[in-house]
Structure 1
């Protein structure tokens, strides 16, 4: 499958790469890292990355301005996106063929070519694997800019290599990427430095989270709370991992209210929680998932589901 994808990329003159809505470092790392990898090896090709920009990822990259005309006869590659509902930019349907590259459970097997590896720590790691194959098969090369993007994606989706998804292969690829000599300190500052108002909200989380029976934790961040601390929904989502160090916590959920819905951010130290995310129209990894609900009554039902789990 990797060689089929490589051959298809080499045959295409125009390529547009998508990823999921509300992107994280792995979404940008795999999408824009792949874009730069193709452009570096094939400067004559038109390669674009589409989707709404996430301001918290300013330090990492920016997507392109893609027109409707760009999609005509374009090869579409969609990275890090489990199902079609979460693809950012519905114009992917206008392309001539679709390649799916992803490490989430393959519940929605869309695309003409599918490469899904749930054992991979991140889709950025899969792009490293694709590069390894292309290097031996077709002589592809990489540079520091590409390596930086892929490294950021791996670090982001492994929680700085602390999650169980981190494997020997993950560390091998991470080490290989570091050999390209990008500024790791600058990258980590971009990924983990936060404004004081977000730290103040983190203090609120620590003071106000609840842990109930069976080690289930939760915190509710209403629009009023977010406004009080001058933090938006995307910034608040960066705090989801902050309850991981609580002794006795087995799984937890952040409820983050915005103008249209309540975002549900689920994390776990063992229990498989993506089944609950799927119940509420979301999905994700066994230990890190997301969904949305419309009311606080639904949010309370999510907590009850976690208790039962």
Structure 2
């Protein structure tokens, strides 16, 4: 699969890289890391990254603004996206050839080439593995920084079980590059005072039932009272993850027209339930969307049944 992808990269002069909406460090790390990796080894090629930007993650990399005409005869690569309807910037289908690179369980079969590895901790790990398997290729310091950011983001700083011996082997090669891990950690995990106050609210008000299901509902009124937006609030998905007897938990964050549900698990597989509610993801970390608190109650009932 790597050989096929490299052959396509060599064939096309213009390459456009997409990823999922509401990007996390792995989405941006794999997208930007792949862009720089291609530029490192094929400097004559035009490589663009597109999609909406998240202010808190702009320190990783910035998106390009390109015209529709750029897609003509271009290679398009979509990173870290299992569902086509979650691809950021729906022009991804306008190119001549499409490649999907992902580590989520398959939801949509799309792309002329599909490289899906559910054993990888992250798509950033998959991209970095190309460098290890192809010693004739080079990897810049900035590309290594982005790929490392994606890996630590999806492994929870190597605390999650998806961090395998292969993950650590790959990371050992990335950290040999002279970027500042301290600066990266500080930028990734810093929080505003308002968000810290909201975290205090979450710790005081989350529920935990006898089955081991934890939950918190962050309504528009709560978010407005703390002056925190819904995207910032979603960062609190692990705020109470260390509480005793917790097995599965969900953080509901209300937006203007929908309610985002961030689901996490310490064992039971939750991604199939997330798929039922307009979402999906990994067995132990998924996202979903509901459109009323009544539908949120239904999601909670399904999680209770699972437990």
TM-score > 0.5, shorter chain as reference: yes
Q: CA deviation at 1:299?
A: 0.6
1:171 corresponds in structure 2 to: 168
2:33 corresponds in structure 1 to: 33
Q: CA deviation at 1:175?
A: 1.4
Q: CA deviation at 1:39?
A: 1.1
2:187 corresponds in structure 1 to: 190
Q: In the aligned structure 1, how far is the partner of 2:291 from the partner of 2:132?
A: 44
Instruction: Spell out, residue by residue over 1:206-237, the C-alpha distance to the aligned partner (whole angstroms, 9 max, x if none).
Output: 00000013100000001111111111111111
Task: Please tell me whether the aligned partners of residues 15 and 77 of structure 1 are also in contact (alpha carbons under 8 angstroms).
Answer: yes
Q: CA deviation at 1:173?
A: 1.0
1:89 corresponds in structure 2 to: 89
- Structure 2's unaligned 5+ residue stretches are none
Q: CA deviation at 1:131?
A: 2.1
Q: CA deviation at 1:107?
A: 1.9
TM normalised by structure 1 equals 0.98
Matches within 5 A, 1:208-219: 208-219=205-216
Q: In the aligned structure 1, how far is the partner of 2:40 from the partner of 2:212?
A: 49
Task: Please tell me whether the aligned partners of residues 272 and 286 of structure 1 are also in contact (alpha carbons under 8 angstroms).
Answer: yes
CA-based RMSD: 0.8
1:105 corresponds in structure 2 to: 105
1:162 matched to 2:156? The reply is: no
1:50 corresponds in structure 2 to: 50
1:234 matched to 2:231? The reply is: yes
DSSP-derived class of the 2:17 partner:
strand
- Structure 1's unaligned 5+ residue stretches are none
1:244 matched to 2:241? The reply is: yes
How many aligned residue pairs are there?
A: 306
1:68 corresponds in structure 2 to: 68
TM normalised by structure 2 equals 0.98
Task: Please tell me whether the aligned partners of residues 14 and 75 of structure 1 are also in contact (alpha carbons under 8 angstroms).
Answer: yes
- Runs of 4+ aligned residues of structure 1 deviating over 3 Å after TM superposition are none
Q: CA deviation at 1:132?
A: 2.2
